[in-house]
Amino acid sequence: MPSRLLLPVLALAVFFVGATEFMIAPMLTPIATAFAAPPAAAAWLISAYALAYALGAPLFGLLAHRLSRRRLLIAALILLAADGVAVTLAPSLAIAIALRVLGGLAAAALIPAVFALIADHYPPRDHAAAMGLAMLGMTAGIIGGPALAGVLTEAAGWRAPFLASAAGCLVLLPFASIVLPRREAAPHAAGRASPAILLRPAIARLITAKALYNGAAVAGFALSGEILRRRYGIDTAQTGLAVTAFGGGLAAGNLTVGRARRALAGDEALLLAAVGLLCLAFAAFLALPLPLAAALVALALWGAALGLAAPASTALLAARAAAAPGSSRGLVLSVSESANNIALMALLTLASLALEQRGAVASALVLGIGLGAGGALLIADRVAQSKPAIRP
C-alpha cells in the first residue's frame, strides 16, 4: 500500500502546475508595462506554456514506460521552479515567453507521472477517486493561483508570484523524495509503447470526446467572467468573486467522484451522467435569462460536472490502455492531456472572437458545438462498448 501522504503530495505538485499556468491572467498589464509591451503580447506567456505542454506531453508519454515515475516527477518540480526563477531574470518579454516553455514542459512531464503513479499503486476500483483527489490540487491552483498572484503583484511587483511558485516547488521537493514510492513497476514490463495504440477505436473515441467536452467547458469558464460582467453590469471585484462559484463546484465534483462512481456502478455511467449535467448547466448559464444568483448556481453545477467527468474519463483511459497488449498508460494519458490543451486553445480562440464580434450568443454556439460533439462521441462509445465482441 502506498503512503497515506502520497495523494496529498501529488495534489500539491499538481497545484503548482495549475497555479503557474493561470496565475498570469491578473498580471498581464503589470508585466506588459514592465517590458514596455501591450497586454496582448504578454498573454503569450500563457500561450507559450500551454503550447509547450500540448507538444511535450506525447513525447513524455512515449518515454514513460522507460522512465522512473518518481524521478520524472521530481525532475519536473525542479524544472518548474527553474522556470519561475528564470522568467524573473529575463531581460525582455520575448525571452520571458521563450523561458515559459520550460514550465510547459515541466507540466507535460508532471501530470502523466502523477496519473501513472496512481494507476501503478492503487487498485482499479479506486483510480477515479484517487485521480479526483489529486486533481483537486489543479482546481486549487486554478482558483487560488490568480488570486494569490494579484495580491503578491500589488504588494511586491510582478516577479513575486513567479518566485513564490518556485519556492513552493522547492519546498515540496524533500517531501516528494520521502513519500514517492521507490519501488515501481518494471519499466519494460509492458513492452515497447507503440503510437498505434492511439488508433484503437475505444481509446481514440474517448481521447477525442474528452478533449472536446473538456476544452469547451474550460474555455467557457475562461469567458464566464466577461459574460457575467456584460450581462449583469458587475465590476471587476464582483466578477472575480462570482467566478469562484465554478471553482467551488469543481472542488465538490473532485471530492465526491468516488461516491458518485459507486452510486452509478462504474466510470462509464458516471462519465455519461456528468457530461449530461455539464450540458444542462452550460446551456442554462449561457442561454437562459437567469437572475445573477441562478446563473451562479448554474456555473457551480457546470464546475461540479467537470470535476466528476475529468477523473472518470482519465480512469477509463488508464483501464483501456492497461488492457491493450503492449500499450503504455503514460502514452495514452499524456496524449489525452495534449489533446485537451489543443482543444482548449482552439475553442477559446474561436469563442473569444465570436464574443467580441457577435456577442455571447455566438460564443455560446461555438462552445456548444464542441460540447455537443464530445457528448455525442461519448454516447457512440457507450453503444460500441455495449456490443458483444465478434469472434471468428
Closest to 274 (Cα-Cα) out of 297, 293, 294, 256: 256
Question: Which three cell numbers, joined as nine digits, stand for 311?
Answer: 477523473
Is the model's pLDDT at 392 over the cut of 60?
no
Kindly report the backbone phi and psi dihedral angles of residue 146, in degrees, each rounded to the nearest multiple of 5, phi listed first.
-60, -40
Closest to 334 (Cα-Cα) out of 78, 123, 57: 57
CB 54 within 8 A of CB 342: yes
CB 115 within 8 A of CB 314: yes
Query: What is the pLDDT of the chain when averaged over all its residues?
Result: 81
Query: What are the CA-CA distances from residue 249 to residues 208, 229, 256, 302, 375 (Å)?
Result: 24, 20, 11, 7, 20
Is the model's pLDDT at 185 over the cut of 70?
no
Which domains are present in the chain?
1-181 (1.20.1250.20), 195-392 (1.20.1250.20)
CA dist 203 and 159 (Å) reads 42
CB 96 within 8 A of CB 24: no
AA letter at 260: A
CB 103 within 8 A of CB 52: yes
pLDDT in tens, 250-277: 888 878 888 888 888 888 889 999 999 9
Is the model's pLDDT at 384 over the cut of 50?
yes
pLDDT in tens, 195-223: 677 778 888 889 999 999 988 888 787 77
CB 294 within 8 A of CB 30: no
pLDDT value for 357: 79
Buried b (16+ CB within 10 A) or exposed e, 318-349: bbbbeebeebbbbbbbbbbbbbbbbbbbebbe
How far is C-alpha 375 from the chain's CA centre? 18
> Which of 52-56, 173-177, 270-274, 287-291 shows the lowest per-residue confidence on average (mean pLDDT)?
52-56
Average pLDDT over residues 152-181: 89
Give the dihedral of Cα atoms 137, 142, 148, 152; nearest 10 deg: 120
Buried b (16+ CB within 10 A) or exposed e, 50-68: bbbbbbbbbebbbbbbebe
CA dist 227 and 360 (Å) reads 7
391: DSSP letter:
P
AA letter at 71: R
SS (H, E, C) 55-98: HHHHHHHHHCCCCCHHHHHHHHHHHHHHHHHHHHHCCCHHHHHH
CB 113 within 8 A of CB 73: yes
Is the model's pLDDT at 65 over the cut of 70?
no
State the pLDDT confidence band at 329, using cuts at 50, 70 and 90.
Answer: low
Average pLDDT over residues 290-309: 91
pLDDT value for 236: 56
pLDDT in tens, 33-46: 889 887 667 777 87
